[in-house]
Every structure is written in C-alpha cells, then in structure tokens.
Amino acid sequence: MNTKNKSKVKKSSISTRLRNGMIVIFLIMILLIVRLGWLQFVKGSWLKEQMYSQLITSRIISPKRGTIYDANGKELAISAAVDTVTINPNLIMVSDENKELSEIKTKALKEKVAKALSEIFELDYQQTLEKVSSTNYIETIAKKVQKDKIDKLKSWMEEEKVYSGINIDEDSKRYYPYGNLASNLIGFCGDENIGLEGLENEFDDLLTGTPRKNNNISRCNSRIYTRSK
C-alpha cells in the first residue's frame, strides 16, 4: 500500500507540475497577444510616424525666377535651369552588425564620395571631406552647376551604386542678355536668387514665385526617391 500511495503521489505531483507549466505558457501567450495588439493598434500610428521621420528628409527648393521684358517684349533678364548639389552627411553610411566594421566601411565610403565630388566640381578634397564627415543635417557642395557636371555626378552615382545622402536639386541662374546695358535700371540678384538692386529688387515678390518642398525617401536599397510639393 505504501508503494502504491507513493506512486499515486508522484504521478499527482507530475500532473500538477505539467498543469501549472501549461497555465504559465498559456498566460505568456496571452500577454504576447495583448502586447502585439497594443503595438499594432494603439502604438501603430506613432511607430509608423517615427519610421517615416527617419526615412524622409525634406528640403525647400527655390522656384525659377520670372523674366523681365522691355516695352517691345525683348528679354532683359532671364533665368536658365541649373542644379545645386547638397548632401546629408548622416545618410552617407554603411550599416553592419559589427559596429567597428560599420565605422570602417562608412569612413571609406565618405572618403570615396568626397574624392568624387571634389574632382567633378573642382573643389578642395580636404574641405569636401570635412563636409561629407560633418554632423550637420545638410551641407552645400556646389551651387548653380551646369548640366555636364551634373551628368558626370549622376554617372558616377550609378556606377558606384551610391545614392543615399547626395541630393541634386533644381535651381536657376540669372542672365542678362545685354550685359551692363541698363544695369542700373534692371539691377541684379544675389546667390539666393533674391533681387538686390533696380527692378530685380523692386519687383522681387512678383519675380520670385513660390518655393516647393522636396521629400527624399530612402528605401532599404539606399536609393533616394524624390517627391515634390
């Protein structure tokens, strides 16, 4: 009898432990389901906003400045399409699970980007590298660049598969077909396409137009896609 009683007690103890273990597992599963539901429905919108805030960078793009004509319809001041090149230093990087390896690869990439930019736009390499390695949100590399140099940059980016962090924004450059003739009347613009003298200054609001916003969306393959508003 004692042996049978001990056997029954032992089986009962095992059953109790199994039952308790199953209850614990069941409770853990319930907690996980509740947690997932909370993340999806309660915190979902917030997490999505945080994700997009890390993927999207915005820049204000200046519009093409209006043309000034004389009484006979001849162009006295016109704007030609050019581009301005800027960078987001924090996006020029290489991710790796190994932090030390990531830093080494990122340093090499920044040096390669700086070398290409300095050669294409005929800039000092060290100064360009300082901008590429900067902690600033955005750095200007070259303003009002002609199409041939932009084409060289685009070709290099395609060949090297480097897209993230390099921005090519539409811009305009002011030209005066008659040179200094009537320059006192027409005036001139500064680097930011703002009228500083003469008609350029007097009618600056009318000539300037409305700026637009470019939203650059970085995807996992590091390519930059641009949306304009």
| pLDDT tens track for 176-199 | 888 887 788 888 787 777 888 888
Nearest of 161, 159, 158, 166 to residue 117 by alpha carbon: 166
pLDDT for residue 62: 64
Proportion of the chain above pLDDT 70, given as a percent:
72
pLDDT recorded at residue 227: 39
> In this predicted structure, what is the pLDDT of residue 210?
67
Q: Which amino acid is at 65?
A: R
How far apart, in Å, are the Cα atoms of 196 and each of 67, 211, 215? 16, 19, 30
The encoded tokens of residue 70 equal: 């004389």
Question: Which of 35-44, 110-119, 183-192, 214-223 is the least confident region?
Answer: 214-223
H/E element, 214: strand 212-218
Q: Is residue 170 within a helix (H) or strand (E), and if so which, with residue range?
A: strand 166-175
Query: Where do we find the tokens 């050019």?
Result: 82
Segment 33-48 shows an average pLDDT of 60
Residue 17 has pLDDT above 80, yes or no: no
Residue 106 scores a pLDDT above 80: yes
Contact 204, 190 (CB under 8 A): no
Cα–Cα distance between 163 and 218 in angstroms, integer? 9
Of the candidates 217, 226, 204, the one whose C-alpha atom is nearest the C-alpha of residue 63 is 204
Q: Which value, to the nearest 10 degrees, does the dihedral of the CA atoms of residues 18, 20, 22, 24 take?
A: -150
3-state secondary structure of 14: helix
For residues 114 and 166, is the Cβ–Cβ distance under 8 A?
Answer: no
**Alpha-helical regions (H) of the chain:** 2-37, 44-55, 99-120, 125-132, 147-160, 183-186, 198-202, 204-208
Q: What mean pLDDT comes out for the span 124-130?
A: 96
Question: What's the start-to-end Cα distance of the chain, in Å?
Answer: 88
Mean pLDDT of the chain: 77
Listed in sequence order, the residues at least 6 apart from 81 whose beta carbon sits closer than 8 Å to its beta carbon are 64, 170, 171, 172
Q: What is the pLDDT of residues 135-181, one digit of tens each?
A: 998 999 999 898 999 999 999 999 998 888 999 888 888 888 888 87
- Which pTM value belongs to this model? 0.59
Tokens 């032992």 belong to: 10
